[in-house]
Amino acid sequence: MTDPLIPPPGRLFIFGLGYTALRLAGRLRDAGWSVAGTVRGADKAAALVAAGIDAHPFDRGRPLAGARKVLAGATHLLSTVPPDEHGDPVVDAHGADIAAQAAGLRWAGYLSTTGVYGNSDGGWVDEETPLAATGPRGRRRVAAEGQWLSLWQDHGVPVHLFRLPGIYGPGRSAIDNVRAGTARRIDKPGQVFCRIHVDDIGGALMASMGRPRPGTAYNVADDLPAPAADVVAHAARLLGLEPPPLEPFDTGTMSAMAASFYADNRRVRNDRLKTWLSYQLLYPTYREGLAAQMAETNGVPPVTGR
């Protein structure tokens, strides 16, 4: 059956063929798209080539070999590569190569994070909210967004920014954590998190490909900011298990990375996604997303909103 979300076939080059990008690549390839991209290791590149994806090794210390030849013919370009302490590795290594392809590119996307907004004490933020990242990772993202937008402003590369909260989906969800016995329910009163299902990221990207608007940022989040403890409890109920006990928030019992996520508390609006791109979320809340994962696990085709 034809997926109504998928634009007419083209050639997509992806810097960073990870979890989210490979889910998108699978949908596009099934619809006749050509997909190529990069991974960090030669072994993974070889495995993807064997699976039919033209993959090339790339990281900051190893630029893409023959970049202009590899990028030639791409109609669409996506980067999922996070910045490091030096900046955005893709733009630093291959900004000029990407700019040289600008005339043939119909669309380019960069996956950023809602961490660029910083802390709003639980208040709502949207794409017009000033960027006020609180930690080093968020500040690096703000700088990386600027690097990507410079490719649009200075060279005409049709760049779009997609700001993502926590990503979940099959293999990376509260259901998987509860099954593995690694889920925790941290109780920090008033704290909420936003999230998005991996397939809604793909859907939003494809909707943007169909309605390019270079220089635009989109928040790609679902409709229900919620405490992480609530999500874990719901996953446990779906599995017929007792949820883990609530634990008081204590940075002394958490990794530095985990504790850093609790430094910011915000609710993210997705109005622009719905109005400008006319995108309807497949999974408006974590309840639909986790239910679909359970159905898929049990061999029942998931029922989605679209």
For 131, residues 6+ apart whose C-beta sits below 8 A from its C-beta are: 116, 117, 118, 142, 145
Neighbours of 248 (CB within 10 A): 9
Alpha helices in 57-122 (DSSP H): 67-71, 89-99
Give the amino acid at 87. Answer: G
Q: How far is it, in rounded angstroms, from Cα 148 to Cα 151?
A: 5
Query: Is 83 a residue whose pLDDT tops 50?
Result: yes
Write down the pLDDT at residue 296.
82
Task: Encode pLDDT of 122-177 as tens digits.
Answer: 999 999 999 999 999 999 999 999 999 999 999 999 999 999 999 999 999 999 99
**Which of residues 260 and 289 earns the better pLDDT score?**
289
Rg (CA), the chain: 19
Is the residue at 58 inside a domain?
yes
Is the residue at 240 inside a domain?
no
Please check whether residue 45 is in contact with residue 72, taking contact to mean a CB–CB distance below 8 angstroms.
no
- Residue 301: exposure state from Cβ atoms within 10 A (0-12, 13-18, ≥19): exposed
Best CA proximity match to 52, nearest among 79, 30, 74: 30
Please check whether residue 207 is in contact with residue 277, taking contact to mean a CB–CB distance below 8 angstroms.
yes
Is the residue at 88 inside a domain?
yes
Query: Is 191 a residue whose pLDDT tops 90?
Result: yes
Which pLDDT band, with edges at 50, 70 and 90, does 3 fall under?
low
Is the residue at 2 inside a domain?
no
Pairing relation of β-strands 217-219 and 159-164?
parallel
Task: Encode pLDDT of 235-248 as tens digits.
Answer: 999 999 999 999 99
Is the residue at 239 inside a domain?
no
Q: How far is it, in rounded angstroms, from Cα 124 to Cα 270?
A: 10
Is the residue at 77 inside a domain?
yes
Among 41-55, 177-191, 277-291, whose mean pLDDT is lowest?
41-55
Percent of the chain, pLDDT > 70?
96
Is the residue at 226 inside a domain?
no
Query: Is 258 a residue whose pLDDT tops 90?
Result: no
Q: Which domain holds residue 67?
A: 11-166+198-221+268-282
Is the residue at 306 inside a domain?
no
Please check whether residue 161 is in contact with residue 155, taking contact to mean a CB–CB distance below 8 angstroms.
no
Write down the pLDDT at residue 259.
85
* Number of domains making up the chain: 1
**CATH number of 143's domain:** 3.40.50.720
Task: Encode pLDDT of 28-62 as tens digits.
Answer: 999 999 999 999 988 999 999 988 889 999 999 99
- Residue 72: exposure state from Cβ atoms within 10 A (0-12, 13-18, ≥19): middle
Q: How far is it, in rounded angstroms, from Cα 104 to Cα 222?
A: 33
Which pLDDT band, with edges at 50, 70 and 90, does 304 fall under?
very low
Give the amino acid at 295. Answer: A
Q: Determine the number of helices (DSSP H) and then strands (DSSP E) in the chain.
A: 11, 13
Pairing relation of β-strands 166-168 and 54-57?
unpaired
pTM check: above 0.85: yes
Write down the pLDDT at residue 5.
74
